[in-house]
Structure 1
């Protein structure tokens, strides 16, 4: 009997060892890829020092297991773990950094990607049309607003660092207050992470306006054609995170989401390969994969004009001169996660939606698109998601328990990993941008909103 139990224990230990080795082997490329990509982008796009990036972005477990370095000879960065899973990210001017994954570096560098130059804004012209900001607003207590901003930067709990890097408050179309952390200036582009999804929403809106896409038609993917059950999925389902596709949006280890972002050369193709596990519109499930499927659809719909379309029809049109959307190795913009822009430029994008898709005298987005984007998805029972924007409605059957109780129910937002936010408040004619690097729960967004709204004198 003793021999029997010893044999069982030995088998269990071997199974755990095999499982552990397998898990670790899957995790190593994720650690390497995350580090290489972020180091590359922060250095070459955001113009930060490598030492600062390695300390701040890569200074916590599990990234402390890795080794990361930049190579200025070819504008690249590398990541590896104990010498294994070495991954390279390369920088190309105008389009930022790309992980060399599944597609050779030679092929990636040989891609014919040319983005138009951004127009130069005048320092003497008032924001948002120029760079000048006049901090005057008789309808707000500006001293109180600035006190709220100071508190958002103040570190009061060493166990829960806020790490706020920028705050911009826009009221009645003008910047009324802004503040930046040491090492981050007005002109420092910052990564929006999943706020990029809302930019992907705008690109779809432009193509709807052009008559090239209909969100209620089956998503135009050849791999989903014919009798494929995924043929039932529409662009509306994808935008509302209700496609029913199998997906695992988990970032604590290897998952479909981390595998896509840090290992795959064609992210949209990878995400679109998964089967249906629910019927479309049956269940809401947040998925970065669906955003990259949409990004692939946008590229297919625009063809050879793809890069010009993204920049000239949207970014240049509203003066987002700092914006860089980075592509995967296939050349498709990573519409789920990889856009850099200054906080002021993120505020411009919020202002476009605050103004119902109109910029100046020109309608950029189709009539009704903003209302569609900010309307709660029926399957999102917490009342917190529209069409690639987060909403602030009350949860179903629980009035008053919304995520931001101090903000009005018509507020909607762009949310990104580690505390990136663009809050759009139509009833207050306001946009609030907050950029930072904090763990979930370390920053009190509701307190920020409550403080800024309390400063309105109207």
Structure 2
């Protein structure tokens, strides 16, 4: 074989490999339709939002891979049957998202029809959703959108709804609270204390709290192997991955270059059980920190496999945690086989996030009941054995740590952080919770939660 022919064949193989690594037009259209269906469904039925609000907030300023396609798609909303359909590929195909009480919307797989919705687990069928937020546990509450008597704090709050903390910032809500008092609570026009929006990766910290509740009830052991059934062969090295490895973002699994991109599950109608569980090890468990959505999904998958039925598993976060602390406007969404996607897909309110913060300030106790292990706050705040790069916040167990790397904040500051500017910040030494919600623009500088919390503390 001539050198020229060999080079031609090598080039052809490289082109073929590159093509195989890229999504087809049909797949990209399916992603965009799935994104549109899912966010429209959740926006309407979880958040009680108008189509105009959803278009402005949920479907603009988004992930560049599908942004242009989403802008051209139209959702068909069936409020009676509580589903959303989005046609794509010139109307030849469609994606469907179906709502369920408490569990929010589930994206059906490509090729499914509305008749297939009956096969999705629905353990809360017939349950009525809560209306107005009751304001518990706070004994004092600043009036919503009222002006504070603290001029310096007032200035900081006003700046939070401008571009002061980031050129791409679009703030929708801010809440500052202690366990006893809501100090300040602000929303943009059209939003209320009952308006749920997606948490994105703040869900990871909610997921860790669900794991904590399971540990408290002796349903799972942090130090034991995760016990994923797909990894049960004695030769499979993934069998050595512990639940703690997963919570520390240290599974060692291959999660592609960007571990926060899990498009197949997030908008492609894929399953946790046939995506996150199928990847191979890159390095030994516990030897590397790498932010990966799959690690969170696998931690919850491990918990799922401890239950006798999917319905029992789906009830657990509500019975063991969310409803106990009054998170009545929180929707933890799943894939179509009943695995929680607690790396991102939770819809909740600012008050419900603040309640989770208060639970941690109270050492996992709520109205005399120990919901999380007594030392859980210390556990999630302890730096994992392997850490992110020095410029980033530190990492504990699915919570970010603003420790000695950030001297302008108290050393015990921890945060749940999510895409588009979702933040739940807990400062135990100040007995303080700070929540910020937003729709920050992809590709621009998002809201700087460090500087905002620093300024809040100075004002207080």
Task: State the match for 1:451 in structure 2.
Answer: 455
CA distance in 1, matches of 2:262, 2:246: 16
Q: Does the 8 A contact of 1:108 with 1:330 survive in 2?
A: no
* TM-score (norm. length: structure 1): 0.85
Identify if the C-alpha distance between structure 1 residues 27 and 280 changes in structure 2 by more than 3 Å, giving closer, same or farther: same
Among residues 244, 249, 261, which one is paired with 2:266 in the alignment?
261
Q: 1:281: how far off? A: 0.7
**Could you say what secondary structure the match of 1:302 adopts?**
coil
**Could you say what secondary structure the match of 1:98 adopts?**
strand
Task: State the match for 1:181 in structure 2.
Answer: 188
Structure 2 unaligned segments of length 5 or more: list them: none
Q: 1:308: how far off? A: 2.7
Identify if the C-alpha distance between structure 1 residues 268 and 408 changes in structure 2 by more than 3 Å, giving closer, same or farther: farther
Q: 1:354: how far off? A: 1.6
Does residue 275 of the first structure (1) align with residue 280 of the second (2)? yes
Q: 1:120: how far off? A: 6.2
CA distance in 2, matches of 1:388, 1:108: 33
Displaced runs of 4+ in structure 1, greater than 6 A? 118-123
Among residues 78, 81, 98, which one is paired with 2:85 in the alignment?
78
Task: State the match for 2:52 in structure 1.
Answer: 51
Among residues 237, 248, 272, which one is paired with 2:256 in the alignment?
248
Alignment RMSD: 3.3
CA distance in 2, matches of 1:51, 1:249: 35
Identify if the C-alpha distance between structure 1 residues 118 and 203 changes in structure 2 by more than 3 Å, giving closer, same or farther: farther
CA distance in 1, matches of 2:56, 2:24: 23
Task: State the match for 1:398 in structure 2.
Answer: none
Task: State the match for 1:191 in structure 2.
Answer: 198
CA distance in 2, matches of 1:277, 1:353: 34
Task: State the match for 1:19 in structure 2.
Answer: 19
Structure 1 unaligned segments of length 5 or more: list them: 395-400
CA distance in 2, matches of 1:313, 1:103: 35
Does residue 392 of the first structure (1) align with residue 398 of the second (2)? no
**Could you say what secondary structure the match of 1:179 adopts?**
strand
Tell which deviates more after alignment, 357-366 or 22-31: 22-31
Does residue 409 of the first structure (1) align with residue 411 of the second (2)? yes
Q: Does the 8 A contact of 1:195 with 1:414 survive in 2?
A: yes
Identify if the C-alpha distance between structure 1 residues 102 and 293 changes in structure 2 by more than 3 Å, giving closer, same or farther: farther
Tell which deviates more after alignment, 205-214 or 105-114: 105-114
* TM-score (norm. length: structure 2): 0.85
Task: State the match for 2:141 in structure 1.
Answer: 133
**Could you say what secondary structure the match of 1:263 adopts?**
coil
Post-superposition Cα deviations, 1:80-99, rounded to whole Å, max 9, x if no partner, equal: 55537632212223321111
Q: 1:121: how far off? A: 9.1
Residues matched between the structures, number: 434
CA distance in 2, matches of 1:87, 1:181: 31
CA distance in 2, matches of 1:424, 1:88: 37
Identify if the C-alpha distance between structure 1 residues 249 and 431 changes in structure 2 by more than 3 Å, giving closer, same or farther: farther
